[in-house]
Chain A
Amino acid sequence: MTKYLLKRIFYMILTLFLVATITFFLMKFMPGSPYANEEKLTPQQIHIMNEQYGLNKPLIVQYLLYLGGMLHGDFGTSFQYSNQPVSSLIAARLGASVQLGLQALIVGVILGVIIGSIAAMKQGTWVDSTATVIAIIGKSVPNFVLAVLLQYYIGLKLGWFSIAGWGEFSQTILPTIALSVGPLAETARFIRTSMVDTLSSDYIELGRAKGLSRMEVIRKHAMRNSFIPLVTLIGPYAVALMTGSMVIENIFNIPGIGEQFVKSILTNDYPTIMGVTMVYCIGLVVILLITDIIYGLIDPRIRLAGGEQ
């Protein structure tokens, strides 16, 4: 276990190092200048600015400084917001994104589990077909399309919730729904398959044969075993929520990290792009590691040390 963990952490660090290196050099070789209105600046001003941002040093020194800074959470200074460090820019916006992501995850997974379980219990009936249709639609309809429709029909026409902004809880409801549809569909499909599998296994038959009621068997035996594999979906969930947050935050005007990312791409704010990229990667890598550990803990049949599946 310890050996496995050390190995995993080594690869994590290697991955993050490579991502940092690649993004750094990609951004350095980009055409164009980081300064707005460069043609209006005198060479002297550019020289001073370069000095201020450390752009006059040799490339390798800049690179080492960048890596060194990152070790203690310094991602450099944003080009777009004068003198604001990228790290504080991200820190200020991380909260909204994490809250939105967690809310969407909780809503999506709970509803998905309910829909999936009911579908599996009523296998082959109209309930099952309805659940399948919901899952397919949820998987197919892009969340940004849904977000715009929700915003207009529920937010504006019915006026139930505010259509944009961030701060009150009611403002989080529509973006949460839009963002939760992906995890919901994924969970429902997954739970249905897993539950159907479990329900036809021998120990369920035994439970029924020894006189337990159907609900009791499902509650005590089937559920627990068919939910364990759900842990493997945490990684894909995280990716979907990260992707989703970029567009959903834009539509609902939420000051989150995804919205910041899009903004910095559109304005060539390289330090911010690099910083957000690193935050996304660190997030995903850590989530994947935790997933593996949790999976090993709750299902002893999976041995982490085995390495390959």
Chain B
Amino acid sequence: MDEKELNLTAADFEPLPEGAAQDNEKISGPSLSFGQNVWLRFKQRKAAVISAIIIIVMVLVAFGSTPFINKSTLVKSHPQYANLPAKVPGLDAINGLNGKIKQNGQWVDAYAQNNVPKGKYFVAGTDYLGRSLGQRIIYGTKISLIVALVAAFFDLTLGVFYGIVSGWKGGGVDNVLQRIIEIISSVPNLIIVVLMLVVLHPGITSIILAIAISSWTTMARQVRAETLSLKNEEYVLAARSLGESGWKIAWKHLVPNLSSIIIIQTMYTIPSAIFFEAFLSFIGIGITAPETSLGVLLNEGQKNFQFLPYQMWYPAIVLCILMIAFNLLGDGLRDAFDPRGQK
């Protein structure tokens, strides 16, 4: 506009209606806390939500089964029921789920062949000693979940504690602690686990211990790196200059701000712990008979795979679902906590 004379009088202006100015500052929609934001983003990831539901169901079934499935029912063999395929009442039309099994290219009713009483059926079949495969799979899932929980526990305690101390103290302490981690992590985890298993006796306790000891280093490294940068944040400096003790700062300020990486890292430790247990039991140096786990079941199933494929397929499917669910849940949580990252 040119330099034009503007002759404005009071009449040219019109007062705004009462209260209209306040609208400019108004924020539509409630303000969301960090947790609410995460939850909102997490809900959008269908795969992660479904995975979470699957995991919850598996945990409930596996741990809820404890009163019904115990060692004595698992170990007791019933040779008369050996190697029966799955039979689910009501699914008579589907070969493979109706008690029939393929022998020489033909479907034969294995239940009739072995003179199994009429009302008796096994939803997931039986193994070579006539033990219910379904029960063994549920028990094996429980072992996998226990291994996962313990590994996560060590991650959350030892890993987080070590990382915070190392990052917070800095200097000489940090240097020594980091060199220790460097040494531990240049030995393959597998070697640590195997050596532990050779020294302790193979079994659930030593396998859990071995996995726990070797799994926390990644967490410690990540927590340390983040602590190093959080240490110089204003709110930490403020707390420090007010004379707050180191422990209290760690608990009140560092841990809440570290929570995203802690949760994400835990979600990645879990599937690798489950894999390790299955792997070690599969090659025969982890959990061994009469104890059972998914790895043991896979090992047993693999021997008869040609003739009784279901004995390998069922535990394999359960293990894969478990692994996929945890991996997807981990991805979903990572995206929910850190929207800048992927996508």
Q: List A residues at the B interface (Cβ < 8 Å).
A: 11-12, 14-15, 18-19, 22-23, 26-27, 29-30, 136-137, 139-142, 144-145, 148-149, 152, 156, 193, 196, 239, 242-243, 246-247, 250-251, 261-262, 265-266, 268, 273, 277, 280-281, 284-285, 288, 309
A242 near B188 (CB under 8 angstroms)?
A: yes
Chain B 265-296 interface 0/1 with A at a Cβ cutoff of 8 Å (1 = within): 00000010001001100111100000000000
A243 near B279 (CB under 8 angstroms)?
A: yes
B284 near A262 (CB under 8 angstroms)?
A: yes
- Sort A-B residue pairs by CB-CB distance and give the 9 closest, nearest first: A140-B323, A140-B324, A15-B183, A145-B316, A243-B190, A285-B186, A148-B302, A239-B188, A15-B186
Which residue of the partner chain A has the closest CB to B323?
Answer: A140
Number of A-B contacts (CB under 8 A): 109
- Do A30 and B199 form a contact, CB below 8 Å, given A11-B182, A142-B319? yes
Which residue of the partner chain A has the closest CB to B313?
Answer: A149
Is B26 in the interface zone, CB < 8 Å from A? Answer: no
The listed residue (A11, A26, A27, A152) touching B306 by CB distance below 8 A is A152
- Distance between B312 CB and nearest chain A CB, rounded to angstroms: 7
A148 near B305 (CB under 8 angstroms)?
A: yes
Which residues of chain B are within 8 angstroms of A29 by Cβ–Cβ distance?
A: 199
B187 near A26 (CB under 8 angstroms)?
A: no
The listed residue (B186, B278, B285, B327) touching A142 by CB distance below 8 A is B278
A281 near B199 (CB under 8 angstroms)?
A: no
Indicate the member of A15, A144, A261 with the most B CB atoms within 10 Å.
A144
A148 near B312 (CB under 8 angstroms)?
A: yes
B195 near A239 (CB under 8 angstroms)?
A: no
Which residues of chain B are within 8 angstroms of A239 by Cβ–Cβ distance?
A: 188-190
A55 and B45 CA atoms in complex are apart in Å by: 62
Which residue of the partner chain A has the closest CB to B328?
Answer: A136
Query: Can you give 8 contacting A-B residue pairs, CB < 8 Å?
Result: A15-B182, A30-B199, A136-B327, A137-B320, A140-B323, A152-B305, A193-B342, A280-B190
B187 near A281 (CB under 8 angstroms)?
A: yes
Is B298 in the interface zone, CB < 8 Å from A? Answer: yes
B195 near A284 (CB under 8 angstroms)?
A: no
The listed residue (A141, A242, A266, A280) touching B320 by CB distance below 8 A is A141
Which residues of chain B are within 8 angstroms of A23 by Cβ–Cβ distance?
A: 195
- Distance between B45 CB and nearest chain A CB, rounded to angstroms: 12
Which residues of chain A are within 8 angstroms of B328 by Cβ–Cβ distance?
A: 136
B278 near A281 (CB under 8 angstroms)?
A: no
Which residues of chain B are within 8 angstroms of A145 by Cβ–Cβ distance?
A: 298, 316, 319-320
A246 near B190 (CB under 8 angstroms)?
A: yes
- Do A18 and B183 form a contact, CB below 8 Å, given A30-B198, A246-B190? yes
Chain B 180-215 interface 0/1 with A at a Cβ cutoff of 8 Å (1 = within): 001100111111001101110000000000000000
- Do A142 and B275 form a contact, CB below 8 Å, given A11-B183, A239-B190, A243-B190? yes
A139 and B328 CA atoms in complex are apart in Å by: 10
Chain B 4-23 interface 0/1 with A at a Cβ cutoff of 8 Å (1 = within): 00000000000000000000
